[in-house]
Structure 1
């Protein structure tokens, strides 16, 4: 059994390759991922045959985005079960792959719970593996449905906040179909506005250091025929000052019980700019991203990534020479500060949009009510 991801060689395929899919093959099931590290230069799939391979894909950002990481985590447990590996060991490794994104743990635990329940009910290994797979498939379907409902709630909120005109929306990082079982979170709202003829312009932050905005959001915006413009992260202030932003829409990797939001680093400065310029700052995320067990923003573990991501630039198909595999842009030995996320306090968030509805103003009490309602719907 190969303990790594194997590149499939199916590149230059037509657009619309799913971000994650389960594939049954003669040698056993595999989890197939659209390699987001290679976008937009080429659409290449990566085939994962076991949990360590998937953990590596998650850590190296071949697959990313909070909702999709939950789906991938659930499938990873199912994959370990189907191939006869140590399921508990696989679950523990997957759960720790991206510590800030709570969805990973949610997905892993859901599939693991189904796996254990099947054994407890007297099932054998095959039945338990099937139960884990069924749980992963259910989560995948539910996330697609949640995406559609978030898009509807989000557009209704924009219509309420910004009546009578088209929207100029600024977004950060990537929140579309590449991070979801459906059409995304914040990007799904933008897409809904675009289809309704109410999107004037999508402003796309490049999102340093790994350029998820430039590489991925622009890729999705172009694919959907949107009017969009790319900007460097540090140009956002001048855009606000010029009165060119009507709303900021971002996703989230974890929402604490008090409404604090962890999202891709650079989100917090946008919230500060939005507050100063009286622009709505809206977070769009599924209920799986809300973590009642994390009391506040200070309790959110922020992932610290390699300094090479800052001191070097990696571009698909470009020869590399740096110690981290990229093109050096700083002197050798330069130390770098590279948090993957920052935390925005609830008082800077205009609203949180979920599939179960909108929280505004954002308070611990309002979020708790929404969580209770969500649990009742699930039960």
Structure 2
């Protein structure tokens, strides 16, 4: 079969790209290794930047978000005995929204199915070919076991860190940067109303903890744990006891609500950037090109920012035969990638215990500065709430 853009990956990046392209009459085929059921159920990020919400609104995807999501003015930063609220709206004029990646994906899938988007879910043996020519193509085996070939003018690699797109860029061209952090997150979903109005980021001698939420009845919480932690070693009672200690330490008149835990997992922490994000007729977006630790709530938002640049670049290339934006895509996207990579590293290293007492004192000093300095708080707010698309 033939299409204009072969999109590899049916996560938010790939689905949003196909949606933006279709708005300008550009056809695409979406190819995904996982089943649709898996894609729609996997638990990922839950914070949307101001610019992400604006973009979704502008293309008709914000109605349920506005109705069911939660707008937050800021976050709480906590050290033992002290909890400070940073009001992003007062500091930089922008808020954030709590709306899970699962919900964003559902909205995108519903919109693309209603538009007649062609999907291939549950494929295997995906391979990219001739990306350095004007006639690239993708081969794969579909869910029925039939070998398929999709010829395209462009391939968009939106297939995450384990997909074939990243590896298709030749070693002679590819450069990578990586930082692996010496700790992980133990994350839980619990059927219990949140114990906080806005997210709590807590530094504690036992390790970092975070209180987030997915709705008025579902809480999302995290604990810093050593790398290699086995979920089986953390009973529900142990999880709640550790969360209560780290989140409630010395905070008067505050109690952590507990409830049934419905999901429990361990998330390793790393930063990763690969360049370039474009080689020949292959363009990378989202986790295929970069990974950030989740502390700064940047992963999903960075993927959306990539796609917001990539869609007009491809439209200009395919409709006007103008490659100006396509040629600039990698450099333009990487400016934001490195800004978000730095912010995510900064938030992570400021809040997670390394085991070094000297580091701990530096972290506490930095947290006091952010909480008491308008300049420090504004810097965090500007980065967390999100820079405008294109910056």
Q: Which has a greater percent of strand?
A: 2
What's the TM-score once normalised by structure 1's chain length? Answer: 0.26
What's the TM-score once normalised by structure 2's chain length? Answer: 0.25
Larger Rg: 2
Q: Greater RCO between the two (CA within 8 Å, min separation 6)?
A: 2
